[in-house]
Amino acid sequence: MSDPRPIGLFDSGVGGLTVAREVFRILPGESIIYFGDTAHVPYGPRQKEELIRFAREIISFLIAAGVKYIIFACGTNSSLTLPLIRRDYDVPMIGLVEPGAREAVQATRNRRIGLIATEATVKSGAYQRTVRRLTPESEVFAQAAPRLVPLVEAGLSAGEEARRAVFAYARPLKEAGIDTLILGCTHYPFLTPHFREYFGPDVRLVDPAAATVLEAQREVERLGLINAAAGAPRHSYYVSGDPAGFVSAAQKLGYHLENVRRLQLESLPPEKAWRARPPQAAGG
């Protein structure tokens, strides 16, 4: 029994490619459909209502495209929109917060956990609440970092400007004495060398992507949605902005993408036309 339908992933831009990379590694037989909402990046400064609207439009597109499972490959959406809208759809979904918080709790030794994320993620309190639920004795020190996503999207993650920005945002967290840092935005793993340089070997960096995809793997297998068929998977990429800009930014980050297509969210039919059907049994 096999379900060849793709897995859907979405983010505000190129950040979610760090999650896609884990899908390719952990679930190598699965095809993906990736949507980067580059017309609206960055998500961090936007209002919750606007982010919910974007998420619903993207999810509607992914469902219409036939995905069997959706990964919120975006820290902001995982924090704000997933808890509010997942019950409205029949396609199973997962976000980054719970797996990332769980990994941080397992990693910390002194119970002082840092979180660096977008303004919206920090303000949502999602990571803070989840960590406290998992281990009430832990403290979470959160730092919003609004300059980092635009730098990554511009292909400047390796440069001096990004290095200085990381150091400035990381300083209060180091002064707080953290021993574990959650990279709460999927763009931030592209800045890992700067974080490692600043914090040194004594601070564990937690990228929630791998833990999230491992959890997704378990759920896909449990639901009978795994693709066990032979043959190479097929991957499709869509953006709401300029495809050439997305391809260029991805290439600077080490991803070589072809056939990236533009899809304007505003041009999609009303959401009610794309209500999800219940997940089919494997082979259905």
Q: Catalytic residues, which ones?
A: 74, 185
Residue 189: how many other CB atoms lie within 10 Å: 21
> What are the two backbone dihedrals, phi and then psi, of residue 239, each rounded to the nearest 5 degrees?
-135, 155
Q: What gap in Å lies between CA 154 and CA 279, rounded to an integer?
A: 38
CA dist 7 to 20, 100, 114, 138, 203, Å? Answer: 10, 20, 31, 34, 33
CA dist 192 to 76, 152, 164, 221, 249, Å? Answer: 19, 12, 13, 31, 17
Q: What gap in Å lies between CA 237 and CA 8, rounded to an integer?
A: 10
Residue 119: how many other CB atoms lie within 10 Å: 16
Nearest to 75 by CA among 39, 99, 49, 57: 99
Q: What gap in Å lies between CA 155 and CA 252, rounded to an integer?
A: 6
Q: What gap in Å lies between CA 43 and CA 47, rounded to an integer?
A: 9
Q: What gap in Å lies between CA 61 and CA 55, rounded to an integer?
A: 10
Kindly list the strands in the beta sheet with 93-94, ordered across the sheet, starting from the edge strand earlier in the chain: 93-94, 69-72, 7-11, 32-36, 235-239, 260-262
Distance, CA of 232 to chain centre: 24
DSSP state letter for 278: P
